[in-house]
Amino acid sequence: MGTRTHRELPTSDELAVWRAHLEAFDIARSRIEARLHHDSQLSTGDYKVLLALSEADGKTMRSSELAAEISWERSRLSGQLGRMEKRGLIRREPCVEDARGSHVILTDAGAAAFKASTIPHLRAIKEIFVDAFSADQIELMGEAAAKLREHLTAAT
Amino acid sequence: MGTRTHRELPTSDELAVWRAHLEAFDIARSRIEARLHHDSQLSTGDYKVLLALSEADGKTMRSSELAAEISWERSRLSGQLGRMEKRGLIRREPCVEDARGSHVILTDAGAAAFKASTIPHLRAIKEIFVDAFSADQIELMGEAAAKLREHLTAAT
DNA sequence: CAAATCTGATTGACGTGTGAATCACTTACG
DNA sequence: CGTAAGTGATTCACACGTCAATCAGATTTG
């Protein structure tokens, strides 16, 4: 409802919204991460890996399968698994079918750590994120996320 | 308008919104960062520091003043400034008034790099973030950010 | 004024992310 | 079948973040 010309730059209000949004959600994310780390000594990376493995058949996945599942680069996962293996959360075994690959296996300690972490983690998400908003707002944010996703998929 | 009991955990919908939101905005952020880095060889950290210094009196700020301005921990800024100094974007000089402190000074190269980066950076924010939404949605997101901020400030 | 305390800033150890290079094994194909 | 290309996974170099420790120079206070 304004000029006919196609603006190429954001208005200062739009820019402010972007920055405020970024900042607020960053703080929320880091609070949730801090809680997870404090309660369960897990990073969100750990949690993501443990979650995927917990749901996997036989608590095992090929490493690249796992990377695809959680949308990570292989090298990122490699480092992550190295750290997790050192802490005994997972272990790796050579792969018979394909001697290049390896199986990532959830250890009992890893399964236990994950299990113990979920309730407190979900509680943190509820308290820090969900409780900030009305049900309607949450729904709107879901729609916004979907719309953004779509926009990003479309092009650029 | 449902149960009378106070839920302690998020519903699966709420959880899904949190995750979708996190993911979508993460992608947007990293796209914008990638553009900034591609167009101007600057990280968002660089940009933030350059922005603050550009607006500062005499293009100079005390290091802790700068840290406060952009809400960074001192050690974080220290590392950042080290990298930026190596690249010639800023330089540091001992402080006469307080021999412990130091002045961070925007170099000509730094000022030029910042100036050249802003338009493309703002354009990226417009294209990647703003253009995904209606004006109404942007406004709602501003409100959501404010509400979350308030919620986070309140407690936990 | 001298010892205790506070404060500006850097450093170190470590976790985490990216991209390019590497390496070993598999597969495709002339 | 043997070389070229492809693929699974790790490694390297680097950027970046956090927290605890350090350190030198200010300040406070008995």
What pLDDT, in 10s, does the model give residues B17-50?
Answer: 999 999 999 999 999 999 999 999 999 999 999 9
In a domain, A147, yes or no: no
Average pLDDT, chain A: 93
In a domain, B145, yes or no: no
Residues of chain B contacting residue A150, judged by C-beta atoms under 8 Å apart: 132
CATH number at residue A71: 1.10.10.10
Report how many domains make up chain B. 1
The encoded tokens of residue B96 equal: 């006469």
Once rounded to an integer, what is the mean pLDDT over residues B111-138? 97
Which of the nucleotides in strand D have any atom less than 7 Å away from a protein CB atom? 6-12, 15-21, 24-27
Q: How far apart are CA B9 and CA A130, in angstroms?
A: 9
- Strand C within 7 A of A46 CB: yes
Q: From A148, which residue of chain B is nearest by alpha-carbon distance? A: B132
pLDDT score, position B5: 55
Which of the nucleotides in strand C have any atom less than 7 Å away from a protein CB atom? 7-12, 15-21, 24-27
Q: Is the pLDDT of residue A5 over 60?
A: no
In a domain, A6, yes or no: no
Q: Is the pLDDT of residue B135 over 50?
A: yes
Q: Do A138 and B28 touch (CB under 8 A)?
A: no
Q: Do B31 and A144 touch (CB under 8 A)?
A: no
Closest Cβ–Cβ partner in A9, A127, A138 for B126: A9
In a domain, A2, yes or no: no
Average pLDDT, chain B: 94
Q: How confident is the model at residue B1 (pLDDT cuts 50, 70, 90)?
A: low
pLDDT score, position A154: 84
pLDDT score, position A7: 82
Q: Is the pLDDT of residue A64 over 80?
A: yes
In a domain, B8, yes or no: no
Percent of chain A surpassing pLDDT 70: 96
In 3-state terms, what secondary structure has residue B149? helix
In a domain, A92, yes or no: yes
In a domain, B6, yes or no: no
Q: Is A38 exposed, middle or buried (0-12, 13-18, 19+ CB in 10 A)?
A: exposed
In a domain, A8, yes or no: no
* Residue A62 lies in domain: 20-138
Q: How confident is the model at residue B103 (pLDDT cuts 50, 70, 90)?
A: very high
Q: How far apart are CA B71 and CA B73, in angstroms?
A: 7
**pLDDT tens per residue across span A66-124:** 999 999 999 999 999 999 999 999 999 999 989 899 999 999 999 999 999 999 999 99
Q: Is the pLDDT of residue B2 over 70?
A: no
CA of A102 to C1' of D3 (A): 27
Once rounded to an integer, what is the mean pLDDT over residues B77-85? 97
| Lowest mean pLDDT, pick from A111-120, B4-13, B123-132 | B4-13
